[in-house]
A = this chain, B = another copy of it.
């Protein structure tokens, strides 16, 4: 009847991050913070979780002299996101 909702994606901020990354294919911390209107602490934690799960790839580097953390979704992440959407369909009728 109801499919399980991946708890990693069933979280407002993490879902927003993935939603952005799936269409943009690369985004940095500042951009994500801006778009999601999250605090940096929260964003940092949620990025780590997505990274640990292999849903996104994180590269910490520099842009000129300033640090820059760039995120991009992985194939695993794309699949998980799609599966999540499919699962949601069993709850809503879309």
A residues with a Cβ closer than 8 A to B are 1-2, 4-5, 10, 12, 15-16, 19, 23, 35-37, 85, 88, 91-94
Contact = CB atoms under 8 A, between A and B. Distances in A.
A35 B36 CA distance: 35
A78 to B, nearest CB: 13
B85 A16 contact: no
Contacts of A93: 23
Contacts of A92: 19, 85, 88
Closest 3 CB pairs of A and B: A19-B91, A2-B16, A5-B12
Nearest to A9: B91
B1 A35 contact: yes
A2 to B, nearest CB: 5
Contacts of A4: 12
A5 B1 CA distance: 23
A75 to B, nearest CB: 18
